[in-house]
Amino acid sequence: MALDKNQIAQRIAKEVQNGYYVNLGIGIPTLVANYVRDDIEVEFQSENGVLGMGPFPYDGEEDADIINAGKQTITTLPGASFFDSATSFSMIRGKHVDLTILGAMEVAENGDIANWKIPGKMVKGMGGAMDLVASAENIIVAMMHTNRAGASKLLKRCSLPLTGVGCVKKIVSNLAVLEVTPDGFKLLERAPGVSVEEIQAATEGTLIIDGDVLEMQL
């Protein structure tokens, strides 16, 4: 059974380690803060100028003045701080963020990512994703394995305009966990009830299968 968006976020939360400073991109990545273990200390950063984001607020407890980069209302943890965009991007460009979690429309087998523009669609610009992919040492992508038409989004080469080149380290999709290697996508885990054959059929890029593939634990 393929994972839903919350389950993708739940699996990615297992990658977050004690003491990490983490930037969460728009979309599925924003859900990760809801699933981080209680026994570790993590600081979530948003490029609009927040350090110390907490989970999403409960209905009726929202504060319209406290938002993330996707304009969603958020909570803040004790000790959180607010600052301007210049300071926020100094943190990002200065490589002070340990882990960046982004969404993507396409990822190539060499780690290229396309997540900002579909040709012919009006967009305001690439935004902070450009800085995040250029500066982060560890980038995990949260995405659906295929598009609505069933075509693979894990490709030999991206067809959409690139956000970054050779930067993605790991992908957690609704079907699998994959590592980007010099030889292609290495299959690490499969979603519960999803077969290796299903993942192969949904992956256009080179898929490396090394022995038995474990079922994902959420």
Catalytic residues: 47
Which residues make Cβ contacts (< 8 Å) with residue 76, sequence separation at least 6? 50, 52, 53, 54, 66
Q: What's the CA gap between 192 and 2, in Å, rounded? A: 7
Structure tokens, 210:
């090394």
- Give the end-to-end CA distance of the chain in Å, rounded to a whole number: 13
Q: Quick check: 143 and 168 in contact, CB under 8 A?
A: no
Q: Quick check: 161 and 117 in contact, CB under 8 A?
A: yes
SS3 90: helix
Which amino acid appears at position 92 of this protein? I
Q: Quick check: 25 and 132 in contact, CB under 8 A?
A: yes
